Structure 1
Amino acid sequence: MQNPNATILQLYHSGRLSAALRAFESLPASAPLSAAAYAALVGACSRLRSLPHGRLIHRHLLASSPDGAGLARNTVLSNHLITMYGRCAAPDSARAVFDGMPDRNPVSWAAVIAAHAQNGRCADAVGMFSSMLRAGTAPDQFALGSTARACAELGDVGLGRQVHAQAIKSEDGSDLIVQNALVTMYSKSGSVGDGLTLFERIRDKDLISWGSIIAGLAQQGCEMEALRIFREMIAEGMHLPNEFHFGSVFRACGVFDSLEFGEQIHSLSVKYMLDRDSYAGCSLSDMYARCNKLESARKVFYRIEAPDLVSWNSLINAYSAKGLLSEAMVLFSEMRDSGLRPDGITVRGLLCACVGYDALSQGRAIHSYLVKLGLDRDVTVCNSLLSMYARCLDFPSAMDVFNETNDRDVVTWNSILTACVQSQRLEDVFRLFSLLHRSVSSLDRISLSNVLSASAELGYFEMVKQIHAYAFKVGLVSDTMLSNGLIDTYAKCGSLDDANKLFKIMGTGRDVFSWSSLIVGYAQFGYAKEALDLFARMRNLGIKPNHVTFVGVLTACSRVGLVDEGCYYYSIMEPEYGIVPTREHCSCVIDLLARAGRLSEAAKFVDQMPFEPDIIMWKTLLAASKTHNDVEMGKRAAEGILNIDPSHSAAYVLLCNIYASSGNWDEFARLKKAMRSSGVQKSPGKSWIKLKGELKVFIVEDRSHPEADEIYTMLELVGMEMVKSGYIPELPRHSCKYTSFDHTDLLNEEILVEYG
């Protein structure tokens, strides 16, 4: 090569960057190069993001100046090197070049600030900007722009305002680069109003100006304003929208659930031939998915010319979010066939669609595949796995995933606690919560809410008080969700006074869940007047009740026999409040009518309601039939239960009791014989109590309890005292033929009282 400098410069300026680097590689190690050739080579590495070549050229440059003088100390070349290292994701190398410079100019500072800001070292970028000011160097538009973008990434609007103040004082502060960066900073930092004000003051806006404010408004929940600005840009006619503008407005339409606007903008994107762009097309597909138009989302997706992994993940997650696991798995298979490798987002989306026992096999298949990919070491994937097994009712596998997760985060702990609550592994909740408390410096509201749920199930009042005290200590007591959980748990533990006190303390912070929790609590413990008075107050304050509120109201009416009032409240649910009655509401109405002895009306309601009756509804009718000696209704209710669950022992037992109460011993004997031939056995009653941090479980006629002798001795004593006091057990008529009496049988319900 006769003149390597000329050759390299010619190749670089003609855009043949790789050829320029090959020409350099063919040179002898000692071949001298000019500053212009070095600058061209470093620029080629920068544009190609080729760090290995960049380091090679840097070493060649240093070797050409063994005494430390010459080109190695050239400020312009050093600035090129800093820029190259920044673009090649090597900010430490950029800083090393900067620190070794004997003379720095504003470009040097701007380059090193940009090198840090571009690579996520935003705090360092802001620190370099401060050092620049202390050194007495005036920042140019590039330094100001990079620092403003660093503040945006940090989400620190306070620092951003200081940069804005420096920009106002600077000669280059009015440059469009700086103004656009400041608009982005305000938008990303939650001060989108300031960003909009600044945007409107920009006289000569460019595409970046429009894109910055549209994206900021869309991301900060100002979707309609984002659409207004986009329309203004189109109407102005000075700039053609690009894929990023369309991506932002499609996202705004999706969040705002505005299919009409989305379809109009879709037509506009077709006009500009951007509907097949990977970025805009992905956002368009996501918009249709959010608007429940999955088929449209799929059609748009298949029109994208070269969908990348982000595009595939978006569509797969859209189907998964709707619970369409089979369709999501088909897309997953197509993605793999296209040659793309799934990532953590892909498998997390698929796992979210696995719900119920029927999806367990597919969940396990996904688990095996992600282990093969090595994604099982990602804690976010492990968290999704854990939740998947919990949703698919496989608690042991969920616990296995938890035990095998090394770097557990708070989501991991909360996921396993939630799984324990859902699986009624209440002892495990307290055991794991104790471990969590020792493992982390502070607990969040999700962890505490899970423990409250377990405490409510067990009536563990002491734990509720401890959670309340802890929440007060760390400042979580003002959290509405946690306070509602405390009200609900206090009520379920029977401490309505504590529930009411906390309800009053919440003041204006109360929401519909606060009111509903206390109403349900009063209703469940028979305080119907208090529940209905609270409901009246709630309505007078204009607070719209929810479905839980009406469960409490209907329960309250049922407990005190306010049948007409209960039926009235049921009748106004949908027309006045838009609440469609659920199974739970229907169960309440059946209970309301059955308790009052209006069994024919209850049966008619069962026949007319929009649901198939479940076991709870039939059991309600069956229990009421026993109370009111209605044999025919009892038979119908028992048949309803046995059609759903042929082995349901309670139905046989209650029907036997009805026959015995009515003296129908032939039917009684026939049913008993049927129970024996079918192998149906009565499930023993079980109760539990939490005492001194330990769960005590009691089963009817159980002699395996370690303290059984002491318990039954105490029961005998209590039983004798009750008889001495004049207690006479109420036994059904005609039942002497099949029933014998002893104190232990009568007093099984007293075990908890005596023990606790």
Structure 2
Amino acid sequence: MIKNFVKKPNTVFNLTRHLSISLAVSSYFETEQSSNDYITSLCKQNLHREALEAFEVLRRTTRFRVNIGTYSRLICACSCLRSLEHARNVHEHIGSSNARTDVILNNHILNMYGKCGSLRDARRVFDEMPEKNVVSWTALIAGYSQNGRDADALELYVEMLKSGVSPDEFTFGSAVKACSGFGDLSLGRQLHAHVLKSGSGSQLIAQNALIAMYTKFDRVDLSWDVFFHIEDKDLISWASMIAGFCQLGHQLEGLRHFKNMMREDSFQPNEFIFGSAFSACSTVLEPEYGKQIHGLCIKFGFGRNNFSGCSLCDMYAKSGFLLSAVAAFHQIEKPDLVSWNVIIAGLANHGHWDKALLFFIQMRHLNMIPDETTARYLLCGFMSPSTLNQGMQIHSYIVKMGFHSDVQVGNILLTMYAKSSNLHDAFNAFEEVRKNENLVSWNAILSACMQHHEPMEVFRLFKLLLLSDMEPDYITLTTVIGAYAEIASLEMASQIHCYTIKLGMVQDVSVSNGLTDMYTKCGSLDTARSLFYDIEVPDVFSWSTLIVGYAQFGYAEEALKLYARMRSSGVKPDDVTFVGVLTACSHVGLVEEGWELYNSIETEHRIVPTREHCACMVDLLGRAGYLSEAKEFIQKLVHDPDIVVWKTLLAACKTYKDHEIGKWVAENILRLDPSNSAALVLLCRIYASSGNWEEVARLRGSMKEQGVRKVPGQSWIEVKNRMHAFLAQDNLHPERDRIYSVLEELWLHLLDHGYLVA
């Protein structure tokens, strides 16, 4: 009883609605002609839903016949609304009214079912048609293509040819579109040849479809060849070609064609062309071009358009003009979900998580339902420890909305926890995504392990990955190679090198750079140099890796020569390059050259000197004995020197027994880290070397009170695939007795040969 009672208001409402519609249109249904005229009038005004509702009233309340012209209008209304229910009602009425249908009306019905997505109904109509023409075949081919059944569309095209019906330009357009979706370039080129052979090669519909097809196949050269041979290009030709250039990485060429189109004064660009132009500007980071095109966009009346406005907002955001991006967003008349996602992404990617969150809240207040893309973009703003709490709240919302099952969302969550929290939380996020994992998931957790300095975890996970069905890509290998570089095992380095050769990825620049860095850290500079010279076009990372490797192992001259070659090759150095070059200058005592290089970092190369560069300069001056100059250099630094800079100078003070500067340096270190054992020990040594034993005793007593102990030195060696680590005066190694026995034997051999061991 209760259920029936609840349903009654809905029934009454629907009945009332139908009655009100019936009363409103009853005055137009006095005669058969006026009824048809009224429905036709509604269709002409694009009031498709009202026309179909009027048809329903006519069907239920009168016995008037509907003429063929009105049926055609109603069929077009169903196509526009993509309403299968109305489509079947109209088609059923045509059959029950015994109306005399012809091939034209049947073609309309075919097209209607294709637009409404019911290919079974479309095929049944097609098969029952007593007479078919080229439009009939084309309508069904287009229906298959529009609904993703590209193989069926192409099969029907072949069947049409066999039946003796010659395709027209519309048929070719649909068949070429189907070929694009099918993904067979060879078949596409055959179809192109058929277009030319048929004489339709100069018809715009087929030509424009070919441009779009070749663009989808990533063959912008073939797209441009078709475009070039079009004598009378239309707006679609230009739009397809500009979009093709922009999508396939030729953004400047796309902008050049946009400029050429504007020069012709024959075309008025639409919102899609402006969208492509803005996208090109954002990719090549040319906001000045974008601002000029923005002005044209407003001039042609698309300033408030959703599509162009969204692309404009994205361009300003990617170029870093966030205020302009926000202004562009607010200019959009009715922003859709894509527009909201773009502004949220722009703000989040530039670290403005609070503003991105504010837009997200506004979007929800406007009853806009976020999707997985919204979640992914929003999470990008919470990639630091300071935003972990907010990120966890967004994570809770994602679980509530059910987005956590999306693998891309899961991967972003994994990355967020890896960057803002501990490795344990990252592994929890990885376990959540394991059901739908992809290679991106594995790469994210491998990178997380590297960020937390856990190379052994990288090896463990890499073995699991190899046991799965997935094959590593260059990102995976670069991460794993980095782990091998961290443990500096030459034997294991050779194994991963062989594996990259087996996979055929050694030619990838990032992989080659990783291998070069790995071998330099393992001390195998010859192999590193060989890998470097095998890179076809070395980038700045390639050069910097080898320069730093040479410098760290004392091959200063080779490092400086390589830097000179890098400059002559036209590659611009980066901050890492200068760390290597300054280290090289330090090792060979090139103080003046080092000063010149340091000064050129900012003046010539527009790079802000980092703390690493400052540490290199202090090391350069300290090694050469210019301790006063090093002190003056530190005092003039814009930023506060870190502990590495101070310890570098302290070591130089010990070497040159400069107690005054050494004491000043040590005091600054202890101000930063009162229990820093290295500073206290070095300061003790300075006092001891000068015979100031009172200060030595005082410092050692202070260290004892604070519980400060010197961190012992550690060395390691690899023997038979096993790493052995040793501390100074180590008694913990399981084979210490054998080791000390061998050491004692070596000691005796040295004495037998007359060596005096200090």
TM-score grouping bracket, smaller chain normalisation: 0.7 to 0.9
User: Does the C-alpha gap of structure 1 residues 280 and 503 become closer, same or farther in structure 2, counting only changes over 3 Å?
Assistant: closer
Question: What whole-Å deviation, never above 9, does each CA across 1:315-355 have from its counterpart, x for those lacking one?
Answer: 12112222222222222222222221222222222222223
SS in 2 for 1:299: helix
SS at match of 1:348: helix
Aligned residues: 720
Candidates 390, 408, 411, aligned match of 1:383: 411
| C-alpha separation in 2, matches of 1:72 and 1:158 | 45
**1:17 aligns to 2:45 (yes or no):** no
1:55-88 Cα shifts (integer Å, max 9, x gaps): 55567778x59xxxx8899765654444233323
Deviates most, 356-365 or 377-386: 356-365
Q: 1:378: how far off?
A: 0.7
Q: Describe how 1:84-483 pairs up with structure 2 within 5 A.
A: 84-91=112-119, 94=122, 98=126, 104-152=132-180, 158-199=186-227, 201-405=229-433, 406-483=435-512
- Kindly tell me: are residues 95 and 479 of structure 1, through their superposed partners in 2, closer, same or farther at Cα, counting changes over 3 Å? farther
- Determine if contact 1:12/1:44 at 8 Å carries over to the other structure: no
Displacement of 1:161: 3.3
1:304-703 alignment runs, 5 A limit: 304-405=332-433, 406-506=435-535, 508-683=536-711, 685=713
Distance 1:136 1:691 in 2: 78
Q: What SS does structure 1 have at the residue aligned with 2:77?
A: helix
Q: Check whether the contact 2:36–2:67 (CA below 8 A) recurs between aligned residues.
A: no
1:687 Cα deviation from its structure 2 partner: 5.2
Distance in 1 (CA, whole Å) between partners of 2:206 and 2:472 is 42
> By how many angstroms is 1:450 displaced?
0.7
Question: Could you say if the C-alpha distance between residues 440 and 624 of structure 1 is closer, same or farther in structure 2, counting changes exceeding 3 Å?
Answer: farther
Change (3 A) 1:523 1:204: closer
2:385–2:421 contact (8 Å) kept in structure 1: yes
For the 8 Å contact 1:519–1:532, the answer to whether it is kept is yes
Query: For the Cα contact (< 8 Å) 1:686–1:698, is it kept in 2?
Result: yes
SS at match of 2:436: coil
RMSD, aligned α-carbons: 3.4
**Distance of aligned partners of 1:277 and 1:718 in 2 relative to their CA distance in 1, 3 Å threshold:** same
Question: Which residue, 43, 46, 50 being the options, matches 2:83?
Answer: 50
Give the aligned residue type for 2:740. E
Q: How many Å separate the matches in 2 of 1:131 and 1:576? A: 68
Q: Matches of 1:89 and 1:702 in 2, distance apart? A: 77
Cα separation, 2, equivalents of 1:61 and 1:685: 93
> What letter corresponds to residue 367 of structure 1 in structure 2?
H
Q: CA deviation at 1:420?
A: 0.7
Q: Which moved more, 1:682-691 or 1:635-644?
A: 682-691
Provide Cα deviations, 1:176-206, integer angstroms capped at 9, x if missing partner. 3223223333444444455445445545443
Q: What is the CA distance between 1:641 and its match in structure 2?
A: 2.6
Distance 1:55 1:729 in 2: 102
Deviates more, 1:199-208 or 1:633-642: 199-208
Q: For residues 118 and 656 of structure 1, do their structure 2 counterparts lie closer, same or farther at Cα, with a shift above 3 Å needed?
A: farther
Find the counterpart in structure 1 of residue 741 from structure 2.
717
Conservation of the 8 A alpha-carbon contact between 1:458 and 1:688: no
CA–CA distance in structure 2, aligned partners of residues 147 and 235 of structure 1: 33
Are 1:319 and 1:327, in contact at CA under 8 Å, matched by a contact in 2?
A: yes
Amino acid at match of 2:484: S
Give secondary structure in 2 for the equivalent of 1:640.
helix
CA 640–148 in structure 1, closer or farther in 2 if over 3 Å, else same: farther
Shifted more, 418-427 versus 557-566: the winner is 557-566
* Alpha-carbon distance between aligned partners in 1 of 2:32 and 2:280, rounded to the nearest angstrom: 54
Name the residue aligned to 1:746.
none
The one-letter amino acid paired with 1:359 is: T
Report what 1:752 is aligned to. none
Which AA in structure 2 matches 1:11?
Answer: I
Q: CA deviation at 1:297?
A: 1.7
Kept in 2: contact 1:214–1:245 (CA 8 A): yes
Q: How far apart, in 2, do the equivalents of 1:310 and 1:42 lie? A: 32
* Counterparts in 2 of 1:348 and 1:91: CA distance versus 1, 3 Å: farther
Alpha carbons 2:119, 2:143 under 8 Å: kept: yes
The answer to whether the 8 A contact 2:40-2:70 is kept is: no
Structure 1 contact 218–251 (Cα < 8 Å) conserved: yes
- Rounded to whole Å, the distance in 2 between the matches of 1:543 and 1:258 is 22
Shift in CA distance, 702/360, structure 1 to aligned 2, threshold 3 Å: farther
Residue 700 of structure 1, CA deviation: 5.8
Contact 1:8 1:20 (8 Å CA) reproduced: no
* Structure 1 stretch displaced more, 297-306 or 87-96: 87-96
TM-score, length-scaled by structure 2? 0.85
CA–CA separation in structure 1 for the residues paired with 2:757 and 2:661:
27
Identical counterparts, % of pairs: 48
Question: 1:126 and 1:620, CA in 2 relative to 1: closer, same or farther beyond 3 A?
Answer: farther
- Using structure 1 for the length normalisation, give the TM-score: 0.86
Gaps of 5+ in 2: 1-28
* 1:93 to 1:485, Cα distance in 2 relative to 1, 3 A: farther
| 1:423 CA drift (Å) | 0.7
How far, CA to CA, are the matches of 2:156 and 2:704 in structure 1?
85
Q: Tell whether the 8 Å contact from 2:48 to 2:77 is kept in structure 1 after alignment.
A: yes
Q: Aligned with 2:639: secondary structure?
A: coil
> In structure 2, do the counterparts of structure 1 residues 529 and 246 end up closer, same or farther at CA, with 3 Å as the change threshold?
closer
Deviation for aligned residue 1:419: 0.8
3-state secondary structure, aligned to 2:735: helix
Change (3 A) 1:722 1:208: same
